A and B are shown apart, each in its own frame.
Chain A
Amino acid sequence: MKKRSLVSINDFSKEESIRILDRAMEFEKNPTQKILENFVVATLFFEPSTRTRLSFESAVNRLGGKVIGFTDSASSSVQKGESLKDTIKTVCNYSDLIVMRHPREGSARFASEVASVPIINAGDGANQHPTQCLLDLYSIRKTQGHLDNLHVAFVGDLKYGRTVHSLVIALCNFNTTFHLVSPQELKLPSSVKMHIKEKQLNYHQYTDLSEAVPHADIIYMTRIQKERFSDPIEYEKVKNSYVLSSKMLVTARENMKVLHPLPRVNEISEDVDDMPQAYYFEQALNGVYVRQALLASILGV
């Protein structure tokens, strides 16, 4: 069996991504299938990320596989100065696939080069988090019925938000129109805009969220972190301008859904939670189906 890792969303073609989404749909219909009974999956979390880890472990468990691993490097051999290469090479002896989260960017690519089993990148620093991107695509397709020609609004920290970057790039394959809402300081980097321009797609930039709401089929909210601002007063100013409230949804399209990679702080007020547009908790559930599909596809079962 040829080993195939998922390090970056760019490693998957449009067609391969769609195949994963289709497979995820099958798992949504029938989530408990003991097809990984003979497999051991290692989850190596060199930095904690409880949600992502639980989502992966839930996916493995529903498929009947076994999970081994560690949740932070402080308690593992890594603290004794073992190199990433040695850790990976050792764990390859104990498992059929490694899910890895690591604070350094590029660590997953490196791991995939030294490993004899496939690696799934569960986040490498600020670089990639491809399974988040796939579950976002899945959620968009599920709520809209398709992925083509949609208007997608991205709101908040578009500069540092790695989920935003991956999703924008992935959506460039589907003739998306982008509505980019952010403070001046946190605009989408030009390296990401380049992908939009290359595909000759349209994007619109706003600083005011309410302007973008009526155009959107999807509103993808992100957290704005205080530490991104050089001036704390600037943060206080924008902080409340990107709070989506039920009142603002009056102008929204009927099919519009609100997504958020979670956890949220205050960027979606709780009065949205019970609105038909709220979709962020289902989005998290979709992550399990998408990860089941990925594990099964990569392990060839």
Chain B
Amino acid sequence: MNKDQRKELKVSAIENGTVIDHIPAHNLFQVVRILNLEKYESQILIGMNLDSQKYGQKGILKLSNKFFKSDEINKIALVAPTATMIVIRDFQIVEKRNVEIPDEVVKIVKCFNPNCITNHEKIITRFNVIDKADLRLQCHYCEKITAKDNVTFL
């Protein structure tokens, strides 16, 4: 068995579905949470602390029979900007692309402003992304800016 094949076997291949690769190892479970994977019923393979030439250690998710809309997958970019999404059909890669930070972030992030109404009533949070490179999110409600270092996920 050559080296490449052995690597493949660490996390087995899927027939149809989506592979999310190059997730920074320590953000893997955040990605799981953002995509609400607890609620998915199909088979999910989670690979943790795998070797990555680019990033040292990485995480990988293989989701059988799951195909995301791009806005859904782009949420991942908030925590795992290095991630790549690979769509597999019949064991073949049919699409491979990097995640992109969306224009609007709905539901998953908490507003940094403690006096924001969204932190006091049952309201779905909503932000406009005003800076993608340096992640700055402006709250649709209180208009305050949540910066990268203050991003907390709900």
Contacts and interface: CB of A to CB of B under 8 A. Distances in A.
Candidate in A83, A109, A125, A191 with the most chain B CB atoms within 10 angstroms: A109
Contacts of B143: 8, 105-106, 127-128
A104 to B, nearest CB: 4
Contacts of B111: 106
B124 to A, nearest CB: 10
B16 interface: no
A273 to B, nearest CB: 35
A285 interface: no
A83 B141 contact: no
B121 A85 contact: yes
B9 to A, nearest CB: 51
A128 B139 CA distance: 13
A4 B139 CA distance: 21
B145 interface: yes
Interface stretch (B92-100, B101-109, B112-120): B112-120
A141 to B, nearest CB: 26
Interface string B133-149: 00000011111110000
A70 interface: no
Interface in A163-192: 191
B116 A106 contact: yes
Nearest to B119: A104
B122 interface: yes
Contacts of B142: 104-106, 109, 124-125, 127
Contact of B115 (A85, A104, A110, A191): A104
B123 interface: yes
B126 to A, nearest CB: 10
A128 B142 CA distance: 9
Q: Which of A84, A110, A128, A191 has the most CB of B within 10 A?
A: A110
Q: Is the interface of B mostly helix, strand, loop or mixed?
A: loop
A233 B67 CA distance: 62
A105 B116 contact: yes
Nearest to A128: B143
Contacts of B141: 105-107, 109-110
B144 A105 contact: yes
B140 A109 contact: yes
A125 B145 contact: no
A264 to B, nearest CB: 25
B98 to A, nearest CB: 29
B116 A83 contact: no
Interface string A122-150: 00111110000000000000000000000
Q: Which of A105, A107, A191 has the most CB of B within 10 A?
A: A105
Contacts of B121: 83-85, 110
B62 to A, nearest CB: 39
B79 to A, nearest CB: 24
Contacts of A191: 145
Nearest to B143: A127
A110 B121 CA distance: 10
Nearest to B138: A191
Given A109-B140, A109-B141, A110-B141, A104 B116 contact: yes
A85 B122 CA distance: 9
Contacts of A105: 113, 115-117, 141-144
15 contacts: A83-B122, A84-B121, A85-B121, A104-B117, A105-B113, A105-B116, A105-B141, A105-B143, A106-B111, A106-B143, A109-B142, A110-B117, A110-B121, A127-B142, A127-B144
Given A105-B144, A106-B118, A110-B117, 13 more contacts: A103-B115, A104-B116, A104-B117, A104-B142, A105-B117, A105-B143, A106-B111, A106-B141, A107-B117, A109-B117, A109-B141, A126-B115, A128-B143
